Structure 1
Amino acid sequence: MLDEEEPFTTFEPGQLITAESMNAMQSKMRAEIAKKIAEALAALTEIDKAKDSDALEGSSAEDLLAKFLEQAMQQFPTHTGYRKLFKVLEFDERNLIDHQLKLCPLVDLYELKSFEVICAHDDDKHREEVRFFLYHTSEKKLRHDDVTVEIEATGETPFRIPLAELLDYLDVEYTDDSSLGDLETELWTAMFAAPNDSFDPADYCHSPWYERCCREERTVGSLKAKGDWDELWLKMRPCKTVNPPADRDEAESVRLPRGILVEHHDFDQLSLTLKEPIFGPNGDEARPMCVMVLLKV
């Protein structure tokens, strides 16, 4: 090995530097570098354990790649001028959205349809019409007071979002020590935070399985250990009718889309106004319309 001060090739003052001598010097340099790398590798006997190595045990390269890609895809919409909002529109009242997208985005609207479920709170269970519902895979059908309610219709593609993915999308932070009850509270808070609207508590609830776990104060870690964490879902039914039939049917499940006025006020703000009233069963009180709003630039 060369000393630190020893040159690869010695040139005397005034000596002509030829191509041959320069090539010879480069060859010596490459040989010396290769030698040092080999010596360093031979001396390497142990690699410090990474902080997260325990979490990687048992995961193949394919598993890790799939996980990284899934996380990247969840973050992608937040960096591409995309917003998904939940809004409550009152008849003839302008609902202002401060989206901060710096351009007038494309606006797509979906009505949040209500559906029948079995809600649970403490020891009370009751049938209810809601727009958001937390439940477990084992509860595709729920029975109460001799009535069976289908949460996931047999033979149909279910309307559901994995709870874990929704929490990641909403940037809700949690650990394996987080309780399911606290996590539910943080979920509703994040979903209905500005620029979303606050929803009536009657519009969302959770299932008997979920209620039991909350009473038992089960944690994320315990749910993962028993395989239940990936079996938790949020059901919602965003819907719009394209090319609707000419005849209006006032039944909520098949009625034509209500007239909603969309106005862009500037590059950062737009408003939605429900221009057609929606009346209750008695026809004496206008009801709000709950919508999912997609914005894209």
Structure 2
Amino acid sequence: MTETAPYVPQEPGDLVTADAWNTMQERIYEDIRSTAQDEAGKVTHVASADDAARLEGLDLAGLTAEIARRVLDDVRGNSGYQQLFKVLKGGEVTVLEHGLGTAPLVDLYQLEYFEVATREDDETRASFATFYLCQSEERRVRVPTADGSGRRAVDIQPADGPDLGIPWVELLTRYEVPYTDTTTLDDLETEFWRAFFADPNDRFNDDQYSHSPWFERCCRDKQTVKRLKENGDWNDILFIMHPRKTVNFGGTGFSTEDEVRLPRPANVGVQHLDNNRTALWFEPPHRPDSGTESRARQYINDPHSPVPDPDQDLTGQTGRFERELKLMVLLKV
């Protein structure tokens, strides 16, 4: 684009609609592809005929997609939009140094624990995670039951809902994780978590993120980025999380016969301190429902214990799970 011809003209105060955003993406992609083709047509000599149509292993389509991904991520970052991952501790105030120059809209999504399949010590087992790396074809994995008497299935993708997952390559770009074709998957994963949990995000405990059996095998075999691309797996690695939109209501919630249930995230306060800082705080108790979250609660309180049986009633369990709250925080001006 030029300085006098924006892709999608907008006036101060206009809403950025889905149609406008999609149109901008399409025009950016078309502009990059057209420019790349024009520049390629000017080349009259190449050092290697085999590499004439490629740059760093990417053909024109791959190069266009990579440039477009980086451009759109920059556009998103410069638009006053921020996505943060925070761990709120009961009774503590978390200050977000967003530097947006005005009080942003604040949107909160609780990061739920969900059951996953991992592989450690040459054994596939069930555990719980907040963030999970896997291959898109890993939809259901069989694991030993809690008592060791048999096996049961863990659904990586919801059996009765739409698929989840962000292409990992997009997050590698967003968090500026460096790698080359010779970088091994295990080294790349280490660098990714280091970048992902860096400021302004919070550091999550080691028991809150993991990877799948497929991912573990590739790490053990020292698979490189180049090999993953050649095998067609590179773009199929997914980053899965379960952020759930919640609303805070006034009052103490509603009660059942044996407990009081609060809306989630329960008792989260938001206050703008000035035009560049926003405070969040969480007041326990946080009371998860029974079911998957209660089983996760028991496991997180004691991660060295076996994963609870899916049919076990754990409503009465308490501990760290109720004293902290993990959130995806969206800021927009």
Structure 1 residue 103: deviation in Å?
2.1
- Tell me how far apart the structure 1 counterparts of residues 210 and 112 of structure 2 sit (CA, whole Å): 15
Moved more, 179-188 or 154-163: 154-163
- Confirm or deny that 1:156 pairs with 2:192: no
Q: How does 1:199-278 map to 2 (within 5 A)?
A: 199-242=204-247, 247=254, 256-278=264-286
Measured against aligned partners, the alpha-carbon deviations of 1:196-245 in whole angstroms (never above 9, x if no partner) come to 1110111100011111110111011000001011111011011123598x
Q: How does 1:17-56 map to 2 (within 5 A)?
A: 47-49=44-46, 53-55=52-54
Match of 2:92 in 1: 93
Q: RMSD in angstroms over aligned alpha carbons?
A: 3.0
Moved more, 45-54 or 204-213: 45-54
User: Number of aligned pairs?
Assistant: 250
- Tell me how far apart the structure 2 counterparts of residues 292 and 269 of structure 1 sit (CA, whole Å): 17
Q: Is residue 108–residue 246 contact of structure 2 (8 Å, CA) maintained in 1? A: no
Structure 1 residue 68: deviation in Å?
3.7
- Tell me how far apart the structure 1 counterparts of residues 215 and 180 of structure 2 sit (CA, whole Å): 18
For normalisation by structure 2, the TM-score amounts to: 0.67
Q: Is residue 248–residue 255 contact of structure 1 (8 Å, CA) maintained in 2? A: no
Q: How does 1:95-110 map to 2 (within 5 A)?
A: 95-110=94-109
Match of 1:125 in 2: 124
Structure 1 residue 125: deviation in Å?
2.9
Greater RCO (CA < 8 Å, at least 6 residues apart):
1
Q: Is residue 100–residue 275 contact of structure 2 (8 Å, CA) maintained in 1? A: yes
- Tell me how far apart the structure 2 counterparts of residues 265 and 209 of structure 1 sit (CA, whole Å): 46
Letter in 2 for 1:137: S
Letter in 2 for 1:126: R
Moved more, 141-150 or 49-58: 49-58
Identical residues among aligned pairs (%): 37
Structure 1 residue 264: deviation in Å?
1.5
Change (3 A) 1:58 1:206: closer
- Tell me how far apart the structure 1 counterparts of residues 202 and 155 of structure 2 sit (CA, whole Å): 28
Match of 1:282 in 2: 317
Match of 1:31 in 2: none
- Tell me how far apart the structure 2 counterparts of residues 110 and 65 of structure 1 sit (CA, whole Å): 33
Match of 2:112 in 1: 113
- Tell me how far apart the structure 2 counterparts of residues 258 and 111 of structure 1 sit (CA, whole Å): 10
Structure 1 residue 270: deviation in Å?
1.4
- Tell me how far apart the structure 1 counterparts of residues 178 and 63 of structure 2 sit (CA, whole Å): 21
Q: Is residue 262–residue 271 contact of structure 1 (8 Å, CA) maintained in 2? A: yes
- Tell me how far apart the structure 2 counterparts of residues 154 and 242 of structure 1 sit (CA, whole Å): 26
Instruction: Give the 4+ runs in structure 1 shifted more than 6 A.
Output: none
Structure 1 residue 58: deviation in Å?
9.0
Larger-Rg structure: 1
Partner SS state of residue 197, structure 1: coil
Partner SS state of residue 277, structure 1: coil
Letter in 2 for 1:108: D
Match of 1:138 in 2: 137
Match of 2:34 in 1: none
- Confirm or deny that 1:292 pairs with 2:328: yes
Change (3 A) 1:216 1:238: same
Change (3 A) 1:194 1:243: closer
Letter in 2 for 1:49: V
Q: Is residue 83–residue 296 contact of structure 1 (8 Å, CA) maintained in 2? A: yes
Structure 1 residue 152: deviation in Å?
0.7
Q: Is residue 122–residue 211 contact of structure 1 (8 Å, CA) maintained in 2? A: no
Partner SS state of residue 84, structure 2: strand
Partner SS state of residue 289, structure 1: strand
Which stretches in structure 2 are left out of the alignment for 5+ residues? 1-41, 145-150, 288-296, 298-315
